Structure 1
Amino acid sequence: MIRHIPESEFPEFVAALWGKQGWQTTVTEKSGKSFVALQRDGAEGLIWTKPGTGNAVSGQELQQFVGICKKFGVNEGAVVTPGTFSEDAEKLGSQAGVQLVDGEKLRTIVEARELHDLVERFADGGGDEPDSDEDGFSLPISIPESVPLPDEVPRKAVTVVFVAILAIVAATVVAPMILGTGGTVQTNGGWNVTANSTAPTDATGALDVRWNAKRVSKLNPESGDDGVYKPDDGEEFLLVSMNVTNAGSDSLGLRPQAFALRSNGTLHGHQPLKNATGFQPSVLDGGESTSVWLVFSIDADAPNATIVTTGRLRRDHVRTEFSHDETLTVET
């Protein structure tokens, strides 16, 4: 399906794919080439999107991109194509620390993150705008015809642009203006769990969220498949139950991606479970409530964890107020 994405839609698809991992993205067109500028938690990066599956990306083309990164001080660079890379390009990418993402790696990302619907949307030509924050950034890119480079490009530190997207956690961008912790719960096992209420300055909608949480080493939801879900080695699950109320008058869309968990300096997206879900996307009318649950997989030795809202709610101008409710049942 990735090969069926129109070339004109491919840069927006890449921006949306990285937006799913919490990067703020901005698509930039310069000299007939398409780039995606990235920003997250003080880190910046640049992706050159190379549509087409015909000729492999050559070493000369990659050398030009490396030169652009060096010229503008971009520390994290990646080239993304639905096609392939030549041997010269792979060698140069390894030397320069530029991540090379070909069609096979793109398919791996989509499979790992279960983002087939995103591919289908762009393959059908229905991709509107990248799933990223509105306040992205751009780089003053001026593409020269050729960029002279030394024979040996110094190896950079391991980049995070591609590594992060394959990680099981999905980082997200937290809305500004923290109002309070929304209560605290001490889980069995030592995690101190809190929740951050937020309010964009232009808030026009409001959600009141009662929540409770507990730490579990495995899950066995009544999903019909009798499966037992276990976290990766060194991690455990945090099960969060929420009662969400639309405190405004206008209808609001609600999706699990609107919530995340900050722990050990990383923002974690919810852990999807096959054949089981406690949070179906829905629309809440004014005054309407719904009860949902989410699962996060985080380091077992993490001292703290904080439930937060993501940029999705900020873009929808929604104030979110959390309050801990110890009477709320935490179960799947």
Structure 2
Amino acid sequence: MIPELEPEEFVSFLADLWSERGWEVSVKERADETRFVVGKRGDGKRGVIYVFPTTTATVTERHLKQFVRFCRKRSIDVAVVATQGAFAEGAQRVAAQRSVHLLDRSKLADTVEEGDLQEVLQRYTETSRLDALTQRLRDLGVPVSTDALPGGVSGIVATVASLVTAAVAWASTKISGDVGVTYTGNDDDADESGARSLASRSVPLAVVPVVLIVALVIGAMVGPAVGLGAVSPFGAGSDGGVEVSSVSTAGANATLDAYWNARITDSLTVNGTTYDAPEGQTFVLVRMNVTNGADSPTQFDQTALSIEVSGERYGHQPLDGATGFPSAGLFEPGENREVWTVFSVPADTESATLLYEGDGGVRFERSTSLTPEATMADKSG
């Protein structure tokens, strides 16, 4: 799956993909914040990508039917619908009947790989990381130059090297400036320099984030760029050392689509109240973006969800006064909602599998763009 992109970047990414394949493209903004990427080819063929650029978007059957009529009236040869969100089951059915190509971030990842278009994707993913890094360093007071640097893999390495150099030079200045400063009094006696218990030749706390940033950048950016492989800092991607997966119960016949992400934690804080995992156990917090693609209300209750660990299944862990699901777990036709639930599993768990044992079918798909957090559910649901 490709990383989550900003909506405008996602549209530009799609336009660049078609440009790379020989299309002459233009982008048309629509009143509902969707976009049309319109393409023409030298052989006379015409194409349109109907873009739903946000991760919260759900493309419905109605959207597809309207798009099919639009394409028919204008004699469009290639019809594509793309989104960073989800496709309702009805939309998938219409697309299959009318030869409309559907692209979510998972299918786009396949397109990039099959078409050898990784360089196009890098224009957006690597640039975004560099921009975020540059801003973070500036926030810390590192004097980073705004001069443009070359693109491409060599440009990425050069940019990172420049940022690392600036960070190290700044850190060295801070260290040399604070060498020999020792504070042994209490906080109330601290002078205006803000020194707090700094021993001789100690590294100022302000330098630590820079060191961490440099380490993460080298692992996450330089490594993949020069073929060293990706580094997962602080256990990222393994959910704190526990591998969490899911099993879909209906495949293509699913009435519910659930994009999910999970994290492991020993305690949760919900609206100011902290809940600790039982002794000898840990929490698996699962957040989901659920869409009901059926034509009738569908029940998706957390009591039908479980986590399987070493052949044992664990139901959801009730939290007194806190819930992440709507009342009775009912989802109206076409409704899209984010929900969460939590499970208690043995503290030594190494792998866990999310399961659904209720009526109907659920298609699970992991989405790292979802932040696993616990918030109070909307009681109006």
Question: Do these two structures clear the TM 0.5 threshold for a shared fold by scoring above it?
Answer: no
TM-score tier (shorter) = 0.3 to 0.5
Comparing both structures, which one devotes a greater share of its residues to strand?
1
Normalising by structure 1, we get a TM-score of 0.39
Normalising by structure 2, we get a TM-score of 0.34
Higher relative contact order (CA 8 A, sep 6+): 1
Comparing both structures, which one devotes a greater share of its residues to helix?
2
